[in-house]
Amino acid sequence: MTLQWGYKQAFLRCALLFVVGVVLQIAFGDFSNRFLRQPWGLIFAINYLYLLIVIYVQSDKWKWMRQIYDHHAMISTLSSMVILTIIFGLTRQDPDTEGIVGMLGFSRMTSSWSFNILLVYFMTALGVNVVQDLHRWRQRRLAAILSHIAVFTILCVGTFGSAGKERVTITTSLDKAAHIGRDKAGNSMELPFAITLKEFTMEEYPAKLYILDTKTEQSSKEYLLVEEEGLTQEIDGWRVEVIKSLDMAGAIPGQAEFREMKHVGAAPAVYVKAENLKSGQKYEGWVSCGSHIFEPSFLRLGERYAVAMPRREAKRYLSRIVVIDSEGESHRFNVEVNHPATLGSWKIYQVGYDTARGRWSTHSVLECVRDGWYPVTHCALWLTLLAGVVMFLTAGGRKVAKSKRETKKQPLTNAKSVTKHRKEGKR
């Protein structure tokens, strides 16, 4: 099957744009979108929309303009974007990548000239089609118009609003108000509100026991998950058994025994027995990962090996904060990973804590993000949902109408066949 000349021209145009992008990538390095910072992003977006209207209006006068948004251009640009997305998806995205992959920008999709040029071309073709849909809305299906507008809006927001986001990382301390953070470049930035950390809580996964090689400082691949007392696990030729487990414990300096302690800095501790499966040698004692107050404790298994417990992994952690806005009003939020707080156009995300203190952390690292284009994206997503509903309803209506037309045609066909049989009978 051979492609039509229109498709060949369209795909050739995409290939030439890709080559231009590669040349610009090699000559000038990564593409930077700093020029789209507010308010320039909005200014460029308004002028871009005006340019799309001009292209559509002048396409009747200048025939070559019609090639920018016809069905050949749409299919070729969409196919090119799918291919590029697959290539970038299969390439590790690492800004430090060297060699031919790094030189061509394949390891930095959003900063690649070729990707951004083809994206703008696809967005332009789709945008002119949106203008055409709105101009000839009576000849278009409502679902198609809504879906085109939604996709085009999302692409515009992602393009012109990419540099408009404000990201400020701020470290809050317990009962101390903070309103100055740092952006990506490390510059100080003042926020229009103050954040006070009231409480930091953390849930941790159960402790894990490993066999540690003290000479190579390598841990065993297998481990014993301390979910309850009495558990036994064979690890690298040793049988390890949990005799007693304390979630919060501490040891008096100079003593090896851990005792239950409800105090800041308390650490998990486990009393274990270990037996060598070959020699039968047995050892027992306390093992703890320690904390910022207590030193970690190991159970020595001869001269080379030991039972060790690393720091427990965080399962869930959140910060209870109080935010005072510019008008002096107080707002209380619980902020945790994937559950940000919303204050006007700002969102506050939980991104870190004092890892040295763990669950006893008195600091919380928050990221404040402001995206002025978010309401537009929100409306576009609702338009996408509405387009799906309209498509579902209109498709069902077409099926019903089609079935009615077939039902009406069926008796006529039967009548013709009966008349035909009667004529043949008379003959």
What are the boundaries of each domain within the chain?
5-160, 166-203+315-374, 206-312
pLDDT for 410: 53
Strands (E), 150-253: 166-173, 177-182, 188-204, 207-213, 218-219, 224-226, 232-235, 238-251
Strands (E), 137-187: 166-173, 177-182
How far is C-alpha 75 from the chain's CA centre? 28
- How many Cβ atoms from other residues are within 10 Å of residue 318's Cβ? 19
CA distance 107 to 90: 10
The architecture CATH gives domain 166-203+315-374: Sandwich (2.60)
Q: What are the start-end ranges of the H helices in 29-67?
A: 40-58, 63-66
pLDDT for 400: 46
pLDDT for 167: 87
Q: Which residues of the chain have pLDDT under 50?
A: 1, 400-401, 412-413, 415-418, 420-421, 426-427
- Residue 390: strand, helix, or coil: helix
Q: Which helix (H) or strand (E) holds 10?
A: helix 5-28
Say if pTM beats, i.e. exceeds, 0.85.
Answer: no
Q: How many CA atoms lie within 13 A of 379 on its CB side?
A: 8
Q: What single DSSP character describes residue 313?
A: P
What's the pLDDT tens digit per position in 52-62?
999 988 888 88
- How many Cβ atoms from other residues are within 10 Å of residue 305's Cβ? 22
